[in-house]
Amino acid sequence: MASDLMPGLLESGDPARSSGYSGPPPRMGFFTDTSVCIGCKACEVACKEWNHVPEDGLNFTGMSYDNTGGLGADTWRHVAFIEQRVVPAGGSAARAGVRWLMSSDVCKHCTHAACLDVCPTGSLFRTEFGTVVVQEDICNGCGYCIPACPYGVIDQRKGDGRAWKCTLCYDRLSVGVEPACAKTCPTDSIQFGPLDELRERAQRRVTQLHEAGVTDARLYGEDPSDGVGGGGAFFLLLDEPEVYGLPPDPVVTTRDLPAMYRAVAAAAAALASAVALAFLGAGR
């Protein structure tokens, strides 16, 4: 249905190959294991340093140790900080304590990337590593990618008008070194590598945590059958995704685009018929 209207839309498998690369390198990505994140924000700093990302405001949010807030044009890694009141396993309510959850968020580099689909100029493109990158010299500042992203990743840089986001350090990948955030992460919470390997490693890690009694551990964004075809960057979380500011069941908006175009065609036909009927009915 989708394929004859828009070739390439919602094809499964290797995004680099379906974007036309012949014999691409393995798809690369991030596995962010939040269970070992210590919230140091070294990833935020390294990202800014390497990519010359401008200052994103010296704000005091007053809500937690997170003064960055969320991903945006000038924040390509964002460390979420959550403080929860919890009851320890097997304990009574009187023993309620506090736990801290920390998680470094990043662009998911979706298999079915809405930002890339809706970009009218081709500024957003798929690299040979299967990642999604903005070519800033082509970006037209139309802003369509921004509300298209189901995760709220890409955003407009003020005073510039163009859209910016994580490139998964395309320049570094091209010369065979890992992205700045993964390189600097002191606990290897951010792990970089071929996506297949990361998925296997993540599965082992969840099993390990479950066996140790950390029943909250779950993977987020690793499933190729989810609404975005699986992320190139995925996570191990210790609570529901929405607690970290992540959508629980994101869907690429272009999945419904063929249906939208059909509705537009029907409505356009209805418009023409309605006007014609009005003229027919009115006589002179």
Partner 1 sequence: MSGVTRQGVQGVRPGREAVSGVQMGAKKRPERRAGRRDGEQPVVGEATFQSYYGKPIINKPVWESPDIPGYLFLGGTAGASSVVAALAQVTGRPSLGRAAKVTSTVTAALSGFALVHDLGRPGRFLNMLRAFKPTSPMSMGSWLLGAYAPLSAAASFSALTGRLPRVGSAATAGAAALGPGVATYTAALISNTAVPAWHEGYRYMPFVFAASACSSAAGMGLVAARPAETGPVRVLGIGAAALEGLLMRRMRRSMGVAGEAFQESHEAHRFEIGAAALSVAGIALAALGRRSRVASAAGGASMVAGSALERFAIFEAGMASAENPRYTVVPQRTRLEQR
Q: With beta carbons less than 8 A apart as the criterion, state whether 235 and 201 touch.
A: no
Rounded least distance, CB 176 to partner 1, Å: 4
- The single residue among 49, 136, 200, 242 that binds partner 1, judged by CB under 8 A, is 242
- The single residue among 86, 135, 136, 203 that binds partner 1, judged by CB under 8 A, is 86
Instruction: Name 248's Cβ contacts closer than 8 Å, sequence gap at least 6.
Output: 240, 241, 242
**Using CB atoms within 10 A of its CB, is residue 52 exposed (0-12), middle (13-18) or buried (19+)?**
exposed
Rounded least distance, CB 224 to partner 1, Å: 16
Site string for partner 1, 159-198 (x = CB under 8 A): --x--------------xxx---xx--xxx--xxx-----
Residue type, 29: G
Cα gap 54→75, rounded to integer Å: 9
Q: With beta carbons less than 8 A apart as the criterion, state whether 157 and 82 touch.
A: no
Site string for partner 1, 105-144 (x = CB under 8 A): ---------x--xxxxxx---------------x-xxxxx
- The single residue among 15, 29, 39, 72 that binds partner 1, judged by CB under 8 A, is 72
Site string for partner 1, 209-238 (x = CB under 8 A): x--xxxxx---------------------x
86 CB neighbour count, 10 Å cutoff: 13
Which residues in 22-41 contact partner 1 (CB under 8 A)?
33, 35-36
8 vs 54 by CB, closer to partner 1? 8
Q: Record the tokens describing residue 133, joined without a space.
A: 């990158």
Residue 240 sits in the site that holds partner 1 (CB under 8 A)? yes
Instruction: Give the binding-site size for partner 1 (rule: CB under 8 A).
Output: 108
